[in-house]
Amino acid sequence: MRKITGGVFQSLDGVIQAPGGPTEDWTGGFTLGGWSATFWDDAMGAAMGGLFSGAFDLLLGRKTWEIFAAHWPYVGADNPMGALFDGVNKYVVTRGNDPLEWQNSHRVGSIDEIARLKQGDGPELLIQGSSTLYPALFAAGLVDRLFVMTFPVVLGSGKKLFGAGTPPFALKLIGQSVSTTGVTIATYEPDGAVPIGDFQLDAPSPREKARQERMKREG
């Protein structure tokens, strides 16, 4: 069985849209593309190098595939990431029939097909970008690990990692560090249901009882 890892750049308020440049993705009127670029340091480069150090295939949404296909084949022979991304298999989740002209690109039509792909043999499936994939993948229990770089910026709006349709679940932190620029680098694995506790009084006060009754009335 293959593992699925999400590699994520996000703002402090959870936006993952267009971290790489102003023209990357202005869907929805987003005007802050390129918000991650000025924070880069050696620690982040080493962490990203570790993410791509093993064998992997890419699992991408159609829009992210289009961004990658317009960039990575053209970065030049001296850029090792370009050659790496050019050579790996790229599984593109799309309902459309437009040709996937970047070499080693393969159409995937549904979450069920991703589940079957995960059950097969092969290297890790690595997600980049692709915000629309995550809620359905989380709901299906298909994500094994999240590698998340959280940048010290608040963007206010934009596509998010935990978008509409994301189910509740707990995560276990398995690794962390902080860059010289204040970016937190953390790796998580899913850890079952959200644990519920209680800091309330054993015997609610009269005021607390009244507050709860008011909440019931207000719905």
From first to last of its 219 residues, the chain has per-residue pLDDT tens of 999 999 999 999 999 999 999 999 999 999 999 999 999 999 999 999 999 999 999 999 999 999 999 999 999 888 889 999 999 999 999 988 889 999 999 999 999 999 999 999 999 999 999 999 999 999 999 999 999 999 999 999 999 999 999 999 999 999 999 999 999 999 999 999 999 999 999 999 999 999 999 999 998
The pLDDT assigned to 167 comes to 97
Cα gap 219→115, rounded to integer Å: 39
Report field, pTM of the whole predicted structure over 0.95: no
The pLDDT assigned to 171 comes to 98
The pLDDT assigned to 68 comes to 95
The pLDDT assigned to 76 comes to 86
The pLDDT assigned to 98 comes to 87
The pLDDT assigned to 97 comes to 86
Cα gap 47→49, rounded to integer Å: 5
The pLDDT assigned to 219 comes to 82
The pLDDT assigned to 96 comes to 86
Q: Which 3-state string (H, E, C) describes the chain?
A: CCCEEEEEEEECCCECCCCCCCCCCCHHHCCCCCCCHHHCCHHHHHHHHHHCCCCEEEEEEHHHHHHHHCCHHHCCCCCHHHHHHHHCCEEEECCCCCCCCCCCEEEECCHHHHHHHHHCCCCEEEEECCCCCHHHHHHCCCCCEEEEEEECCCCCCCCECCCCCCCCCCEEEEEEEECCCCCEEEEEEECCCCCCCCCCCCCCCHHHHHHHHHHHHHC
The pLDDT assigned to 131 comes to 94
The pLDDT assigned to 178 comes to 97
The pLDDT assigned to 127 comes to 97
The pLDDT assigned to 101 comes to 93
